[in-house]
Structure formats: structure tokens, C-alpha cells
Amino acid sequence: MIKKLTLTSLTALSLLLVTAQAEGGMKCAAGKCGAGMMQKGKMGGNKMAMKKKMMKKKMMRRKMNSPFLIKHGLPHLTRSVMQNWDNPAFALTAEQKTKLTAVRKETMGTVLKVKPEVIALRKEIVQASMSGAKAADLKAKVDKLASLEAEATMVHLNCIEKTKDILSKDQLLFLLANKNKHHGGKGNMMKKGMGQGKGMKMKCGSGKCGAGMKQGTVKIETH
């Protein structure tokens, strides 16, 4: 009698499991499974979009606040040098450090002096133009702005030249390799995250999502 009851209970339990799996399959066929995963993926995508937007605004502010004629392309070598100042792999000597400190002090002194003038003059020209000032009336200010930006750019170029003369070929290659590695790694992380989102959408479209959730093996990383 007990054996019969046990068999009956097991049969009933099996039927319940089969029914639950069938319902889950129907939901996946209708593209409704993994809703939590899709929502998380969407939230991650929104965060990435917001981060990208903020970075774009930051870049725009940097461009507006830059005192140089050439906004992109020229390296800021002293900044990279400072980031690796005590890095054993970079291996700066005491003599190199003394020379590089002098170059940075000279460069930053001029740039910090010119920068506020450039920003103020740039704003004046923009505001005057928006208020209806004639182009001819702004020529003197534009010429002054161009002169200040040219001065800052020449200081930047001299800084690059002097820094290159102080560093060895291997040290310059080290800076270049580390810069590329940094930017490349960031790009790969973003591509990886975007690729994961695409794969998840395609699987849900064919009714295959949610399987990983049952097994507890799926991870969604947002960057």
C-alpha cells in the first residue's frame, strides 16, 4: 500500500514538472522568457549611453577650454611621463627627472598664464557675435585670440621636442605602447559589452533565452 502511494506521488510530481516546463517553453516561444535578463540588459545599455553622452560633453568642454590651436593629434608627453614617473619599467634616471621637471615647469607656467586669457577672449567673441556684433568689429579680438593660441601651441611643440631629446628611444616606445594598450583595452571592453547585448536579443527572438537563467550560468556585465 505504501509502495503504491509513493509511486502515485512520484507520478504526480513528474506531471507537475512536465507541465511547468511546457508552460515555460510556450512563454519562450512567444518571446516572453528571460524578461528580467532583457530588462537588465536594457538598463546596462542605458547606462552605457548616458556614460557616452557625459564623455562627449566632457570632451566638448575640454575643446572649449583648450588654449591650443591644434586641439587633437599632438601628444601630451609630460602628462604621460608624470603617470610613469616612478615606474621601474619606465626607468627614469635622476638626471632625466631633473631635466623633465624643468621642461614641465616652463611649459605649464606659460600655458597656465595664456589659458585664462584664451578662454575669456573666446567667450567675449562668441557673446558679441550672438549679440549682433559685426565681423569686422571683432577682427582685433580674433587676431589676439589666434596669437595667444599660437603662442600656447609653440610652447606645446617645444615641450614635445625637449621631452623627446631627454628620453631614450626605449622610453618613448614604452609611453606609446602603454597609451595604445590603455585605449585599446577600453575599446575592447565596450565592444564586448555590446556584443553580449546583441547575442541576448537574438536568442530571445528565437525563443532560446531563459535557459541560462534556469541553469544559473549566465552573467551580464555592464561597463
- Helices 94-130, 35-65: inter-axial angle, 10-degree rounding: 90
Q: Mean pLDDT, the chain, as a whole number?
A: 75
Would you call 155 exposed, middle or buried from its count of C-beta atoms within 10 A (0-12, 13-18, 19+)?
buried
In this prediction, residue 179 carries a pLDDT of: 77
Answer for the pair 205, 214: CB distance below 8 angstroms, yes or no: no
Q: Which three cell numbers stand for residue 88?
A: 621601474
In this prediction, residue 191 carries a pLDDT of: 44
Segment 21-48 shows an average pLDDT of 62
How distant, in Å, are the alpha carbons of 64, 85, 156, 178 from that of 114?
14, 27, 12, 30
Q: Decide which of 187 and 134 is more confident.
A: 134
pLDDT at 80 over 60: yes
Q: Decide which of 7 and 194 is more confident.
A: 7
- What span, in angstroms and rounded, lies between the C-alpha atoms of 17 and 8? 14
The 10 Å Cβ neighbour count of residue 149 is 20
In this prediction, residue 117 carries a pLDDT of: 96
DSSP state of 167: S
Q: Which three cell numbers stand for residue 65?
A: 577650454
In this prediction, residue 38 carries a pLDDT of: 64
Q: What percent of the chain has pLDDT over 90?
A: 44
Q: Which three cell numbers stand for residue 192?
A: 564586448
Q: Which three cell numbers stand for residue 145?
A: 585670440
In this prediction, residue 223 carries a pLDDT of: 33
pTM over 0.85: no
All structural domains of the chain with their residue ranges: 76-189
Q: For residue 60, what pLDDT band results from cuts at 50, 70 and 90? A: low
The 10 Å Cβ neighbour count of residue 41 is 20
Segment 62-67 shows an average pLDDT of 76
Interval 146-198: pLDDT, tens: 999 999 999 999 999 999 999 999 999 999 898 766 544 444 444 444 444 44
In this prediction, residue 147 carries a pLDDT of: 97
User: Which segment of 86-90, 141-145, 153-157, 202-206 scores lowest on mean pLDDT?
Assistant: 202-206
Answer for the pair 148, 118: CB distance below 8 angstroms, yes or no: yes
In this prediction, residue 50 carries a pLDDT of: 78
In this prediction, residue 100 carries a pLDDT of: 97
Q: Which residue's C-alpha cell is 596669437?
A: 147
